[in-house]
Each structure stands twice: as C-alpha cells, then as structure tokens.
Structure 1
Amino acid sequence: MPATQWKIPPLIKAYEALGAIGDGRVRIEDDRRATVTSSDGSKKYEVEMSADGREIASNDNASYWQGYVGYPAIAVLIARGLYRPPANVTDALAGVAWKELNRKYKNDLAKTIADVDQELEQGGHDPDAVRSEAEAVLTFLRALKPVRGKRSRPPAEKPAVKLR
C-alpha cells in the first residue's frame, strides 16, 4: 500500500516552525528522531523522519489529527539542514508565545499572524520578509512531497502535575 502524502499546512505553521528554530526548541536525538518543545514549554513533540525528510511521523495534534505537516516536523526539517532560512527571520520569530496568541484569537490564524506582524514591525523586523520566508517554507514542502510515516504515538500530552 503506497504511503499517504501529507497535506500542506496553513502558513502560520511555517511561522511557528521558524520561531521554534529561533528559540532553540528543537533537539535532534539521533539520525531519525527529534523532539520539539512547545512555545509555552508545556509539551514535547516527537518527530521521526527519514534522512531525506520525505517520510515523516509526528505526534503534534495538527499532524496526528488534521493530516498536514505540523510545525514540529517543519522545524526538524530546518534543524536537519534540509531547508535553510535566513537567521534574521528565525531570530525575528524567537520568543513568540504561539499558544497564548492562538488562544487569544480563538485559533483565528489571520488575526494571529496580524498580531505577529505588528510585533515584528515594532521590533524593527520586516513582516513582509518574514511572510515571504514562511511562504518559501511551504513551497519547499510542496516540492518535497513528504509522506506519512507510521503513526506510532498518540498526540503529546502535558506532563502530569505531581501533588505533594
């Protein structure tokens, strides 16, 4: 049975992946496995991929349930050097509280990006250059045509809180 190709994610997932790189939240475990910590630090996502990045499995909610490549997998592709964004873009997106923004705007992706664009501009960064780079990430994904790896793990959960 042929592998299923991943859908291309919404533009905001490229922003989030570039931000994860800027924050240093990607940890390469070995030649196939990596972990990505969420922007608020509450979750760790597990990503497995082939050396060429064509076969990807990830346990973030978007990848697991929505069928598109989620930001953790995109961030791992970048961390492995399969796509090389300019450092000024990843630096510009460092520190963005994605979870908080998505909650604030009730997952209205356009409003979230508009807020990020405003913050970028206030921080002296070029929002158009960042958007252009995020679009280039999606163009890279379309050309890569990644396929789903085996879904072996359910979505990441918040770590259990220990009571005293």
Structure 2
Amino acid sequence: MSSNYLKTPPRIKVLEALGALADGRVEEVNEKEALVRSSDGTRTYKVYVDISRREVDSTDNGTIYRGYVGYPIISFLMTKRLLPINEKLMQSLRGIPWKKLNEEYKNYAKVMEVIIKDRELNETEVNKYIDQVLSVLRRMNLKRVQKYHEVAEE
C-alpha cells in the first residue's frame, strides 16, 4: 500500500464536516470505517481511519485528487471525538447545500462568506473554531493509505 502525507484542507472543509454531523450524514460502520453521504445525497464516501497508525483514506475528491484531508475524514474524526466539535455552530450549519454552493460560486472563500452572512454567524468565532480544528489536524500528521480503489467522480 502506497502512502502520502495529506495536506491541510481548505478552511471551509471544517464547516462542511461539521455540517455533515449536523445533518446526520455520518454512519460509523466499525471502529475504523464510516460512510459519509454528500450534502445533496447523490454520493456516499467510504472513509477509513486508523488513528494509532495515523493512516486514513476516503473516496472524496479532496483526498483523492487534491491530496488534502477531505471533509468525510474530518467528520469521522469529529464523530470519534478526535477533533473538537462546536455544538452551537454545528446546529447553525444544518441543511446547507454545500455542493450546490461550491458549484455556484466556485470559490471556497466566497461560499464561507455567504454562509456566515446567511446564517448570521460570528465570523471571529467561526474562524477561531476552524483554526482550533486545523491545528489539531496538523498535529495528527495523517497519511493516506490506498484502502479503497474506487475513483471519486470529478
């Protein structure tokens, strides 16, 4: 199995992961595997996490094609309480059509701006929470092992 260390994800992926939890889209299969449904329900990502070995895999585009820790991995790590969860913020992120917004704006920073404005969130608190999660994620120093051989849709 080949392995590569994964990069820190775009900031919005922390919010997407928290939104997946808020919407109940994370299903733990066993201690090391989960299924995470996309926001529009058209895809289900397979996720593998072996935290003792710092090894992960996921069938999402960010993990496969862009080499960063994709939101399905982040959401599974949150479910396992290995990453911080902000309950209040989580409730504010229910029902967001992430895929639709990402395709419409084609700019993660713009999508974050729209969500913060539309949901009337405190931008400083949101950024502080994202910084906290990304800091823990960086210290995890996760590497991708090719557990799944499927290819995500681009």
TM-score (norm 2): 0.91
Cα distance in 2 for residues equivalent to 1:37 and 1:21: 10
> CA offset at residue 104 of structure 1?
1.2
Q: How many residues align?
A: 153
Partner of 1:111: 110
Cα distance in 2 for residues equivalent to 1:78 and 1:33: 13
Partner of 2:50: 50
Partner of 1:40: 40
Structure 1 runs (4+) deviating above 6 angstroms are none
Cα distance in 2 for residues equivalent to 1:2 and 1:153: 12
Q: What is the CA deviation profile of residues 81-133 of structure 1, one whole-angstrom value per residue up to 9, with x for unaligned ones? A: 1113121111111211101101110x211111110111121xxx423212221
Trace 1:27-106 onto structure 2 (pairs within 5 A): 27-52=27-52, 54-105=54-105
TM-score (norm 1): 0.86
Percent identity for Structure 1 against Structure 2: 36
Cα distance in 2 for residues equivalent to 1:97 and 1:108: 15
**Cα distance change of structure 1 residues 151 and 29 upon mapping to structure 2, 3 Å threshold:** closer
Unaligned runs of at least 5 residues, structure 2: none
Cα distance in 1 for residues equivalent to 2:53 and 2:102: 28
- Structure with greater strand percent: 2
Unaligned runs of at least 5 residues, structure 1: 158-164
**Cα distance change of structure 1 residues 93 and 127 upon mapping to structure 2, 3 Å threshold:** farther
